[in-house]
Structure 1
Amino acid sequence: MYQTLTTQLDNNILIVTINRPEKMNALNQQMMGELGLVIDEIYRNKDIKAAVLTGSGEKAFVAGADISEFLTLSPKQGEELAKSGHVVFQRIECSPKPIIAAVNGFALGGGCELAMACHFRIASENAKFGQPEVNLGLIPGYGGTQRLTQLIGKGKATELMMTGDMLSAAEAQAWGLVNHVVKLEELLPKAIAILQKIQTKAPLAIARVVKCVNAALDKDVDGWETEIREFAACFATKDLQEGAEAFIQKRQANFKGE
């Protein structure tokens, strides 16, 4: 179905692998279109409860954008390119189902932006993160200036984007960009283990966590009011009834997303 991605659904977790190893999995317009399609599938398919984004091979998650596509773009075409990227990455960020990045190697430019759009990130020890667009006379265009600032703070984000420097996995963890750093062979098992734990929780509550966390960073939304509203909405769900009864009865809850 896809030419730049592979997908595998196992135990309700969709593993999406970016598959352009000959180009270090660099983002191009075809891949962005296919990412949009697979995100639509995650939203729509009830058999998919969560997803992992990773890259093929051991060297790169996504080593940036395919620069050859930039050479003939006009400012208007550049605007359209950025807008299309924002749409796809915002769909990832706002997914009611958990989507996490398992970063294996280089996550640079658009690759770093893709990883940051996910709900959180796990990195292999050989991972490298950066926004080196200034080396090309560019700036990040898929939300990187905003998400990097939100994740690591204004001063560190500004330095990283101005210098084009890369962060090691350990530095990225220390700066708050990634949650966990593991050996390469443990990367996918770690991601899957976390998602399996999340799958035991109430899916409607998980979706509301995503909505409220995103609201905290959206200047156009009152995050406090969003929390109150979403908290109240939980009381209309069967999942809350099940969760409360399971807690009182000292048993494992069986949530159905209702």
Structure 2
Amino acid sequence: MSGAALRIEDRDSFVLATLDRPEKRNAIDLDLIAALHELCATLEAVPRTLVLQGAGANFAAGADIAQLRERRADDARAGINTRAFMRVHALPMPVIAVLDGYALGGGAELAYSADIRVGTHALHIGNPETGLGIIAAAGATWRLRELVGEGLAAEMLLAGRVLTGEEAHAAGLITHLLPNGDDALAVAITIAERIAKLDPAATQASKRVLRAPRNAHPEIDLAEQAVLFDSPEKERRMTAFLNRKQQR
């Protein structure tokens, strides 16, 4: 599956999706939103790890301002970008974002929807929406405080602070800081290949538990573990582990 706005590659152990509007710094338009929904439908039906990157030297410089300027109250209530990013966030298997260059506004919010973020020294990430007369309503206001803490989130959302790659790494917003996009993609691929070696059911259960609200614990953990404890894959993997240990 591929389209003009989003290029999809099947890499066996994961799916690589590239935002492909480099002439617009991969600005997020309606075609890209439609392509994200189509991709999510595929990954919901057949769960795979997703690696997201931007073509060229940027992840996504924001929403397409020309389209955004024409949106009105009903469009805001429809949550055009919001619903797509929530769907990405809710995918069964992990989502890894490779962040290079600009990841601003809607581009940053798409990045926040990932489970793991890998970035570069050239990264600039943040939410300058108030300078355009709107708010960051596609995930930043409720995800960013969990990712970087209340104080830094407030400065990014209320004062338009944009983080460099080094600052994003220090804040824990990205977990790896690399010299360039190729190196960042290589690290993301290594993580995706590591995930592919793990039990998919256990990985999906871990993601559900990780995303659950605090008041759902420990009941949700115990319920998920109960299912896994009776799984043939748990028996197979633990038996193989014990056999390897005996052979040492």
Q: TM-score, normalised by structure 1?
A: 0.90
Aligned position for 1:191: 188
Question: 3-state SS of the aligned residue for 2:103?
Answer: strand
Are the counterparts in 1 of residues 148 and 173 from structure 2 also a CA contact under 8 Å? Answer: yes
CA distance in 1, matches of 2:12, 2:71: 43
**Unmatched 5+ residue regions in structure 1?**
252-258
Question: 3-state SS of the aligned residue for 2:212?
Answer: helix
Cα shift at 1:187: 1.3
Q: Please, which of 144, 151, 154 is the counterpart of residue 155 of structure 1? A: 151
Cα shift at 1:127: 0.9
Aligned position for 2:238: 244
Is 1:235 the equivalent of 2:235? Answer: no
Cα shift at 1:55: 0.1
Aligned position for 1:256: none
C-alpha root-mean-square deviation of aligned residues, in Å? 1.5
CA distance in 2, matches of 1:162, 1:147: 15
Structure 1 stretch 1-10 or stretch 86-95: which is displaced more?
86-95
Are the counterparts in 2 of residues 18 and 56 from structure 1 also a CA contact under 8 Å? Answer: yes
Question: 3-state SS of the aligned residue for 1:61?
Answer: coil
Question: Partner letter of residue 43 of structure 1?
Answer: E
Are the counterparts in 2 of residues 17 and 53 from structure 1 also a CA contact under 8 Å? Answer: yes
Q: How many residues align?
A: 243
Is 1:39 the equivalent of 2:40? Answer: yes
Aligned position for 2:19: 18
Cα shift at 1:123: 0.5
CA distance in 2, matches of 1:72, 1:102: 30
Aligned position for 1:137: 133
Aligned position for 1:169: 165
Cα shift at 1:13: 1.6
Matches for 1:53-92 after TM superposition, within 5 Å: 53-58=52-57, 60-80=58-78, 82=79, 84-92=80-88
Cα shift at 1:16: 0.3
Are the counterparts in 2 of residues 64 and 109 from structure 1 also a CA contact under 8 Å? Answer: yes
Q: TM-score, normalised by structure 2?
A: 0.93
Are the counterparts in 2 of residues 95 and 207 from structure 1 also a CA contact under 8 Å? Answer: no
Residue identity over aligned pairs, in percent, reads 30
CA distance in 1, matches of 2:68, 2:81: 14
Question: Partner letter of residue 69 of structure 1?
Answer: Q
Deviations 1:102-136 (A, max 9, x none): 11211101111101101110002211110110111
Cα shift at 1:70: 2.3
Are the counterparts in 1 of residues 13 and 193 from structure 2 also a CA contact under 8 Å? Answer: no
Q: Please, which of 100, 120, 127 is the counterpart of residue 123 of structure 2? A: 127
Are the counterparts in 1 of residues 14 and 196 from structure 2 also a CA contact under 8 Å? Answer: no
